Chains A and B, each alone.
Chain A
Amino acid sequence: MSAALPLYTTPLQRIGHWILWIFCAAVLVFLIAPVLVVAPLAFNNEPYFHFPVKVYSLRWFHELFTNPAWLHAIYNSVITAVLATLLATTLGTLAAVGLNHHNLPGKRLIMAVLVSPMIVPVVVLAVGSYFFFSKLGIANNLLGIVLVHAVLGMPFVVITVTATLGGFDMNLMRAARGLGASQLTAFRRVMLPIVWPGVLSGALFAFATSFDEVVVVLFLGGPEQTTLPRQMWTGLREQLSPTILSAAFMLILFAISMLLLLELLRRRSVALRGVVE
């Protein structure tokens, strides 16, 4: 059905249709506007959090990229996210390939367990990790944070790779095996080149999850392990420095680029699997 209404609609139905459109437009504005509103304030020369913006400047960006506390936070965020993503993607992809096996007994239960980190309240996991990792002595360390972030990002990898594999034609694998390839070779040279956009999508989700995560860092991290969201959290609760807004702006740019990247990956994945869209 396209936007054009069929000829047999009554005036009441036409009004209903337009009301639907207006309502949905309002909801979309509700979804987008707050995120966009932040952007111009990041360029406000005055240290205020409200409009009107009289003078524009880059001073808060300068602050963001020269202040050692913020730089250290950015550095920690990137390192943690990269390591957590690598861990989550590797383990998650392997597991998804295993789960893809037809008729696997207990598949539903295993999936439920593997997806549960997304559902369980982060505070509970953060507290538990604090208890457990303290005993192991890795609590004040990026390692502890990387492990928990990997756990949090892994469900996304499992879900996206499983979805991608759902559209993958297993006959290709059987053909490869039939031609004499070992399991590993078939996986490496037939499956992976086709499903890599799905894997990369999952990796992007895991990266974004880790990059944005703050509760676990609050519990497990010391002053040396401050991440970007942790720094923003402190700022929001106590100092309300406009540097937060410039960090927010950078994160919005980051979100937009992730979205674009995901869309490109989705199209690539669809093309690779030979689906006509």
Chain B
Amino acid sequence: MFNKIHLSALTVVGAAVIAILPATGAAQQALTIASWGGAYATSQIEAYHKPFEAKTGTKITSVDWGGTLGEISAQVKSGNVKWDVVDLEAAEALKGCEEGLLEKIDPAKLPAGADGTPAAKDFIPGMILPCAIGVIVYSNVVAYDKAKYGANGPKTLEDFFNVTKFPGKRGLKKDPSVTLEWALMADGVAVGDVYKVLGTPAGVDRAFKKLDTIKNDVVWWTAGAQPPQLLASGEVVMTHTWHGRVVTANLTEKKDFAIVWDGQVQIPDLYAIIKGTKNSALAQDFIRFASSSQPLADQAKWIPYAPTRKSSLALIPASNPYKVWLPNAGHPGRSMSTNSQFWMESGDDLNKRFAAWLAK
């Protein structure tokens, strides 16, 4: 009987050793791309990954991440680079480049637009950075379920902070970016002055004081897929969301969410390559491919995010139901673009302050 155990133990060990070899061994042509999950990641898989896989035979693994430079920095600093390409926002791209976390991307190699315009002119300004290339622009908005409010829902940013008129829990991203801008706007600061005010200690205090008025009613979310779920389950009565997520929920899951466009903060997403990845050349190819006119236009088939190339806009057919949902398709209310330079410089301090404010 003991011999049987002996034998079976040996078989298990042998099988395990044989089985583990492929799991830890090197893969063929492969890329790991980190993005934001949910409907947005789906749009990228359909519009960028699958065509690239078909074209080059590469296997692309999609990973979700939280957007903080810390996650990238940890990999580079410890020598364990897990991701090749990462989808991030401009503030992180600027800072990451300065800190040597991202590889440089040669803008001269970017392909021209589908209509022949050279890349430098085809991209909207600010989308070609030394270490990152812009792909889409999305908007941060407030959303609510029409089933709850009907026609009497919140209409302005002030309504989001008005717990007497609209009692109930609100969803906010667990991040000072957008949260602090909204707090100031709702407190009466004009769109053009927001970053000037936020740059002063008194301004930061003012923003946090405004947030204090709703702190007990906030449900903090961390992943883009959460806001539509929070609305659907009734966990919140209104929430900060990335506008594409609620539009796709409406169109594909038959939900009836409404968007408050007043106070929308537009933020671009860019692709960058993590320094030290073994697949640097392949990653560069991927980014050049994904940021060319047609794929950018294609992603708008899956989510209403604005392509960063002017030539791509022309390629989006009028029949695309998402076209009216693009951030700049003429929506009412205040709108602004995030100041990436500001967040690059002050992000660390505001993050620290925000984390401490949250924990109290």
Please tell me whether chains A and B touch each other in their complex, using a CB distance cut-off of 8 A. yes
Q: Which A residues are CB-close (under 8 A) to B223?
A: 237-239
Distance in angstroms from A114 CB to nearest chain B CB is 23
Which single residue of chain A is at the shortest CB-CB distance from B221? A238
- What are the 6 tightest A-B residue pairs by CB atom distance, in nearest-first order? A238-B223, A134-B78, A222-B82, A223-B63, A139-B80, A140-B80
Contacts of A86 in B (CB 8 A): 9, 12-13, 16
Assess whether B16 is in contact with A82, with CB atoms less than 8 Å apart.
yes
A107 to B2 alpha-carbon distance, docked (Å): 29
Stretch of B17-25, B86-94, B163-171, B331-339 on the interface side: B17-25
Binary interface profile of A, 75-99, with partner B (CB < 8 Å = 1, else 0)?
Answer: 1100100110010000000000000
User: Of A139, A192, A224, A234, which is in contact with the most chain B CB atoms at under 10 Å from its CB?
Assistant: A224
CA of A142 to CA of B79, assembled, Å: 16
Taking the closest CB of chain B, its distance from the CB of A130, in whole angstroms, is 7
- Chain A to chain B contacts (Cβ below 8 Å), 22 pairs: A75-B23, A79-B20, A82-B12, A82-B16, A83-B16, A86-B12, A134-B78, A134-B80, A137-B79, A139-B78, A140-B80, A142-B20, A193-B1, A222-B82, A223-B61, A223-B82, A223-B83, A234-B64, A238-B223, A239-B223, A239-B225, A240-B229
**In the complex, what residue of chain B is closest to A200 when comparing beta carbons?**
B5
Judge whether A238 and B2 touch: CB under 8 Å: no
**Contact A189 B2, beta carbon cutoff 8 Å:** yes
Closest residue of chain B to A139 (Cβ to Cβ) is: B80
* B16: contacting residue among A79, A130, A135, A223, CB under 8 A: A79
A135 to B312, alpha carbons, bound, how many Å? 45
Cβ contact within 8 Å between A224 and B5: no
B2: chain A residues at CB < 8 Å are 188-189, 192-193, 196
Chain B residues with Cβ below 8 Å from A222 are 32, 80, 82
Those of A121-135 within 8 Å (CB) of chain B = 130-131, 134-135
**Chain A residues with a Cβ closer than 8 Å to the other chain, count:** 29
Q: Which chain B positions have C-beta within 8 A of A262?
A: none
User: Is A143 an interface residue when CB atoms closer than 8 A count as contact?
Assistant: yes
| B173 to A: closest C-beta gap in Å | 12
Q: Is the interface of A mostly helix, strand, loop or mixed?
A: helix
Beyond A75-B23, A239-B225, 20 extra complex contacts between A and B, CB < 8 Å: A86-B12, A86-B16, A130-B78, A134-B79, A134-B80, A137-B79, A140-B82, A142-B20, A143-B24, A188-B2, A196-B2, A196-B5, A223-B82, A224-B61, A234-B64, A237-B223, A238-B64, A238-B222, A238-B225, A239-B229
Q: Which residue of B lies closest to A239 (CB)?
A: B225
Encode B212-230 as 1/0 by CB contact (under 8 A) with A: 0000000000110110010
Contact with A along B15-37 (1 / 0, CB 8 A): 01001100110000000100001
Indicate whether A57 reaches chain B with its CB closer than 8 angstroms: no
Bound CA–CA A134/B276 (angstroms): 14
Nearest chain A residue, comparing its CB with the CB of B38: A239
Interface positions of A from 176 to 215, Cβ below 8 Å from B: 188-189, 192-193, 196
Interface check A141, CB cutoff 8 A: yes
B79 CB contacts on chain A under 8 angstroms? 134-135, 137
Instruction: Output the least CB separation between B241 and chain A (Å).
Output: 14
Assembly CA distance A135 to B79 (angstroms):
8
CB B232 to nearest CB in A, in angstroms, measures 9
Q: Roughly how many angstroms separate A149 CA and B259 CA in the complex, as a whole number?
A: 47
With contacts A189-B2, A222-B80, A223-B32 taken as known, whether A239 is within 8 angstroms of B37 at the C-beta atoms is yes
Interface centre among B64, B82, B225 (most CB of A within 10 A): B82
